Amino acid sequence: MGFNLHLVVLEHSSVDRLAVAGWLPTGATVSAEEASHSWYDGIAAYESAGHVVLLDPTLRLAGRTGDLATSLGTTVVSATFGSTAEVHAYQVDGPDVSRLVVLQEGEVVEDQGGALPEEAGVRRDDGGENWLFDLLAARGHRLDLDVPGAVVLTHG
């Protein structure tokens, strides 16, 4: 597949709540598929099963998910697909959790915090992208590229 994308899930949240963290809708929409491409220069959001999914191909939110979790008072799940560099990261930040695992070329190069329940049975040697998709699925999340009207966001 070859994704280069930062996928962020704000659990138990809504797009309207993003204003608390300074992220506001521009009034424009974009398909989730378009917003997932590395050439897309923006951040788009859609709601799915009571959560907000942010598509961030330019990695503007990388390293800032802990701040989002704090400002919104919710758990933030982050999957960084870096297929070009063969670097993949899974991060979960929230009121009672802090976890980060980074794979480079299939090897663990960073491992912080205790293992989470969704990690049980998910193979790290199955390829970085598969590992991330499996972790997201085990937590009850998935990337839906068929969403036609993801909301384009700006930080203001």
**What is the total count of domains within the chain?**
1
Residue 127: per-residue pLDDT: 76
Could you tell me the residue range of the domain that residue 44 belongs to?
4-155
pLDDT at 1: 54
On the CB side of 61, how many CA atoms lie within 13 Å of its CA?
33
Three-class SS state of 69:
helix
* Bridge partners for 4 per DSSP: 82
pLDDT of the residue at 11? 97
Q: Can you tell me the distance from the alpha carbon of 138 to that of 121, in angstroms, rounded to the nearest whole number?
A: 9
Residue 70 neighbours by CB under 8 Å, 6+ apart: none
- Residue labelled with tokens 């598929």: 33
CB 51 within 8 A of CB 7: no
pLDDT under 50 in the chain at which residues? none
pLDDT of residue 57: 93
